[in-house]
Amino acid sequence: MENVSTKTNTMAKLGILAAISVVLVAIVHFPLIPAASFLEYDPADIPILLGTFALGPAAGLLLTITASVIQGVTVSAASGWYGILMHVIATGTYVLVAGNIYKANKTKKQAILALVCGTLAMAAVMIPANLFITPIFMGAPRAAVAAMLPTAIIPFNLLKAGINSIVTFLLYKRVSPLLHK
């Protein structure tokens, strides 16, 4: 009976974190790079990262997919399948890298390393993702997207993930007891 209760408890936590992620993206979103105003910052990855650190990288990936789909059909419906796919690629990479590094040794130093590596991995994986997927969605030539990489896309991904990493680092130890109950 305890196993069912534990699974139910974990699913409830994941549901709450996914809901918080969707609410955050609905309430807080603004452009970070004026020249590319379609690239908007949102804090939706923060509850996903909190869940990843507390419940592991697999839970983080499940949270990413769940939140991405819900966001993609509700608050971010204008971006459709493109937004869902890009969010899963970006945040999925971020949580898998950060989560796997953090689970090896759950210290503050390891958390910083995990978040820095997750941020860099996200920015790196979004280079080919944007080169191949964005031209299809935006109908823009690949060369135009490539030109935006150093001035908009890479800085945006580093800033967004960096801000979310800092906030996650500052919040995690405060909310960790709630996630581990």
| Average pLDDT of the residues in 92-96 | 98
Q: What is the pLDDT of residue 180?
A: 83
Q: Which residues make beta-bridge pairs with 41?
A: 30
Domain ranges of the chain: 2-28+42-180
pLDDT in tens, 60-73: 999 999 999 999 99
Question: Where are the alpha helices (H) located in 28-56, listed in sequence order?
Answer: 45-55
Q: Which residues make beta-bridge pairs with 30?
A: 41
Average pLDDT score, the chain: 94
CATH C-level class of 2-28+42-180 = mainly alpha
> Whole-angstrom Cα distance, residue 25 to residue 114?
23
Q: Which of 36-40, 47-51, 175-179 has the highest mean pLDDT?
A: 47-51
| Residue 30, helix vs strand vs coil | strand
2: pLDDT confidence band, cut at 50, 70 and 90? low
pLDDT in tens, 116-144: 999 999 999 999 999 999 999 888 899 99
Share of the chain above pLDDT 90, in %: 82
pTM higher than the cut 0.75 = yes
pLDDT of 165 over the 60 cut: yes
Q: What is the pLDDT of residue 38?
A: 86
